[in-house]
Amino acid sequence: MTPFFKEQTLHFLKHYIKKLALLSSINAVDVDLNRKQVVNITYLLSSVVGVISGLVFLSYGWLIESSVHFLGAAVSTTGYFLSIKGYAGSARLLFPFACSTYVTVCSFKFYGTDSHFSWLLIVLSAYSVTGFRVDRGKAQLLVCFFSLLAFAFIQLFAPKTTEYVSIDGRLLIALATFVASASMIVLIAGVVVTKLRKLNEHLRYLAEVDDLTKVYNRRKVLAEAVNVFADAIMTNQRCSFAILDLDHFKRINDQYGHDIGDQVLQRCAEIMSNNIRRHDWVGRYGGEEFVFILPNTRAEEAKSLMESVRIQISDMTIFLRDTDERIHVTTSVGVAEIQDDTVRYEQILARADKALYMAKDAGRNRVMLDFDGAR
């Protein structure tokens, strides 16, 4: 092999291996991509089976026999390239027929039924479920029926053994068939389980995170408020809640438009997220209001933390495009701490909300403790 040919071959392999890797990382929630990955895996494993079988026969000097296996590997490789080139439908349909034909020919010509090589067709059952869309039920049934028909045909009419395999050889083929079938099914199941796990994570993210600001939404942060409050009651510890409101935010929307208002919300939420501690929670309470859940935190400590957030937001500058105008944003914050007579977390939030309005009445751009929580 010349250095140039070797270099070109390596470049070719790296290119398509990279394409295969990208299939699992482009979009974790794309179900069509999931099916495409299943098709690619089955084709690649089938190619490996064909190449290994062909090399075994070639080692005994059986050139014609080995060419059958290499032809099967070539068909699988062709199907793989059809898939990655965008002909997914054709590649998806090619595999069941190519696999059934390959197993049938090998069982009749080389291995016989005693080798149990025909059990490789069980892969088509897993393939039919994961390789086709749910609304293609007829295609799934057709693949299962076709594989069952091929299996029955082999069991009824194929010879029990052939001149190519000994008793030890049949045992080896049976073991290899089991390993190949199990590997394909495990890998296919692994792809499906991984995709489902990522899909669930994505759905949970959509259910818990505010799409605009990327902090938790109201439902999630209030659910954590319940948990933090319950822990504080059980462990006899303190916790504090804070409500932050952007001052005159409606004026920003009216004067500069909602796009600028969204940008303000995003920048402020980023500052909030960067300033909370690992065990704290921040979420969008509604509109331009945000709520902070601060476990194991006294009121004064919570006030200090919120003061830092307030200062950083007030120091933030947003430049308007195509103008020299700048926007400065201020916030008002109310903080409340759990008390001995607190029986519901809503009571802490109500006192924090009361402190927020005290901050607004006192001139805005400040952090206030509720009177009861200042003790």
Q: Which residues are catalytic?
A: 288
- Residues 23, 85: contact at Cβ < 8 Å? no
- Residues 191, 34: contact at Cβ < 8 Å? yes
**Measured CA distances, 77 to 23, 30, 52, 88, 91 (Å):** 17, 24, 14, 14, 10
- Residues 329, 246: contact at Cβ < 8 Å? yes
* Closest CA relative to residue 122, chosen from 101, 99, 102: 99
Q: How far is Cα 358 from Cα 302, in angstroms, rounded to an integer?
A: 17
Q: How far is Cα 373 from Cα 249, in angstroms, rounded to an integer?
A: 28
Look up tokens 């790296």; give the residue: 14
Look up tokens 């919570």; give the residue: 302
Burial class (CB in 10 A: 0-12, 13-18, 19+), 207: exposed
The DSSP string of 269-284 is: HHHHHHHS-TT-EEEE
User: What kind and span of H or E run contains 261?
Assistant: helix 258-275
Task: Give the strand pairing for 281-286 and 239-246.
Answer: unpaired
Q: How far is Cα 370 from Cα 56, in angstroms, rounded to an integer?
A: 82
The angle subtended at Cα 116 by Cα 112 and Cα 119, nearest 5°, is 125
Q: How far is Cα 241 from Cα 88, in angstroms, rounded to an integer?
A: 54
Q: How far is Cα 269 from Cα 289, in angstroms, rounded to an integer?
A: 10
